[in-house]
Amino acid sequence: MKTVMLLSILAVAAGLSACAPAPMTKADVDGRVVCNEDRMDQIERAARRENKEVHWVHCPQATLRVVS
């Protein structure tokens, strides 16, 4: 029984490790457009200070550049 349990755990672990994404390379990251979380945080903090509500429809965007 213990052997069957151990084999099933190993099979599940092997299956899950095969689903891990590959690490991103410089070519993958350079020029990628993402949400600018720093700008969003600044806007939300200013809104809290002024007792205003912020509802995001589209986030402010930033382009990632890799410096080598």
42 lies in a domain? Answer: yes
38 lies in a domain? Answer: yes
In whole angstroms, what is the distance from residue 38 CA to residue 44 CA? 10
In whole angstroms, what is the distance from residue 30 CA to residue 65 CA? 5
Give the residue numbers spanning the domain of 58.
24-68
2 lies in a domain? Answer: no
Give rounded-to-5 percent helix, strand, coil for the chain.
50, 10, 45
State pLDDT tens for residues 9-51: 888 887 777 676 777 777 777 888 889 999 999 999 999 999 9
Q: What is the pLDDT of residue 22?
A: 76
pTM of the model: 0.53
Q: What is the pLDDT of residue 15?
A: 74
Residue with tokens 């949400």: 35
Which two tokens mark 38?
Answer: 């720093």
Q: Which of 4, 60, 67 is nearest to 33 (CA)?
A: 60
